[in-house]
Amino acid sequence: MDWSKMLSKQVTDMPRSGIREFFDLATGSKDIISLGVGEPDFVTPWNIREAAIRSLERGHTTYTSNYGLESLRRAISTYVQGFFHVEYDPLCEILPTVGVSEAIDLALRCLLNPGDEVLYHEPCYVSYAPTVMMAYGIPRAVETSIDDLFALNPAKLEAAITPRTKVLMLNFPTNPTGSIAPRKTLEEIAAICIKHDLFVLTDEIYSELRYDEEEHTSIASLPGMKERTLLLHGFSKAFAMTGLRLGYACGPKELIEQMMKVHSYTMICPTITSQEAGIEALENGVDAMLEMRESYHKRRDYIVGRFNDMGMDCHLPGGAFYTFPSIQRFGISSKEFALRLLMEHKVAAVPGTAFGACGEGYLRCCYATAQNLLEQACDKMARFCESLK
């Protein structure tokens, strides 16, 4: 078979995820401490697992409506109103999806025509540019830097807008930097979106995991923004439910209806098991979530302190469970640093360049790892940094 003719050029031209590429190197190696994968080290809280078990015991093994269970949509609506202060109609403005991942894909497919440009702030989650390309859009990164604590600079955003720009993707708290956008910055970004008639996809999957004083603000809650914003959220991170694959999109009914159409032809619905577990998470899982957040908070403080002591300059990230220390003073690239750290000291972290070119000089370290392993990883990293001086 001539695979060069058989396979889609659009897909074969797409680079592999920098994270996957890096972790393939670690496959098979023993005794590695991983600060690599962006996944809670907690098991899903027991009451949520029990809800999934109960669902199966009752024989709930069918499809649900393409819109998902109405009881789930009602629980999402109540939760979102309480947490984000935005009201969504559970009957037509909310769509449960297979993770935030599916919601991103659906939204881009329903918004973009070929050649439409999508802006997003970089370093960013690895799927943004590829999903834009799969929807025949043109991804345009707006670089962020430590000078703005990796939050999107409104002036840089406005300078990047062209007549083809249609969508802005936001992700605060941010993967991989843990950065947050203060309300004032979001207000400036919102004014730019209104002025230039942009639609906003805001991926707020880490919104509960904030450790600063300010309450989380969703851009969807700012005046004039609900009608031009799709709020994406899910259960993977805050409720430690990555494997249950459940997320949701909240936004204008015109867009939700089109997304539901694509969803009905592709995924049909998230499993009924995870939908029933999701209801339990929203209604009775918040205390467990807050306990996990407290634990991440302590680990963040520990790891940032250790990094700064060993000469990796590290800002205090306001949210998520990532640190983004600088390795610039060691005079080697992010990739070489991460590779040698892995091979010589058996600690896996991700080169900043996996999240965009402006991640050069940085490393992403996920601290959703047990405290004793974090301590061992930091000891090993300190020895490595010492050896590079």
Nearer Cβ to ligand PLP (121/345): 121
Distance CA 182, CA 214 (A): 8
Quick one: which of 80, 61, 36, 48 has its CA closest to 204? 80
Question: Hunting for tokens 């230039």 — which residue is that?
Answer: 196
DSSP string spanning 254-300? HHHHHHHHHHHHHT-SS-HHHHHHHHHHHHH-HHHHHHHHHHHHHHH
In the list 77, 131, 175, 353, the residue contacting ligand PLP (rule: CB under 6 A) is 175
Please tell me whether residue 352 binds ligand PLP under the rule CB under 6 A.
Answer: no
Shortest CA distance to 293 belongs to which of 380, 213, 206? 206
Min CB(173)–ligand PLP separation in Å:
9
68 touches ligand PLP (CB under 6 A):
no
For the bound state, the minimum distance from the C-beta of residue 203 to ligand PLP, rounded and expressed in Å, comes to: 5
Site string for ligand PLP, 22-61 (x = CB under 6 A): ----------------x-----------------------
Report if residue 99 touches ligand PLP, rule: CB under 6 A.
yes
The residue among 318, 345, 290, 259 whose CA lies nearest residue 33 is: 345
Q: Cα–chain-centroid distance for residue 381?
A: 26
> What is the C-alpha separation between 94 and 83, in angstroms, rounded?
15
Task: Tell the smallest beta-carbon distance from residue 80 to ligand PLP (Å).
Answer: 15
Please give the distance of CA 231 from its chain centroid, rounded to a whole number. Answer: 13
- Tell me how far apart the alpha carbons of residues 170 and 105 are, in angstroms, rounded to a whole number: 15
Q: How many helices (H) and strands (E) in the chain?
A: 14, 12
Query: Which window, 99-107, 145-153, 283-291, 299-307, contacts ligand PLP (CB under 6 A)?
Result: 99-107
Shorter beta-carbon distance to ligand PLP: residue 82 or 243: 243
* Site track 228-267 with ligand PLP (rule: CB under 6 A), x = hit: ------x-x-----x----x--------------------
Closest distance of CB 233 from ligand PLP, Å: 9
171 binds ligand PLP (CB under 6 A): yes
The residues in 192-211 that bind ligand PLP, with binding defined as CB under 6 A, are: 203, 205
- State both tokens at 181: 């956008």
18 binds ligand PLP (CB under 6 A): no
Q: Provide, rounded to whole angstroms, the least separation between the CB of residue 310 and ligand PLP.
A: 26
**Candidate residues 125, 211, 239, 321; the one interacting with ligand PLP per rule CB under 6 A:** 125
> What tokens appear for 69 in the block?
């269970």
Nearer to ligand PLP, 23 or 125 (CB): 125
Query: Which residue number has the CB closest to ligand PLP?
Result: 99
Closer Cβ to ligand PLP, 267 or 316, answer by number? 267
Q: In what order do the strands lie in the sheet with 199-203?
A: 94-97, 247-250, 229-234, 199-203, 165-170, 117-122, 138-143
Interaction site with ligand PLP (CB under 6 A): 38, 99-101, 125, 171, 175, 203, 205, 234, 236, 242, 247
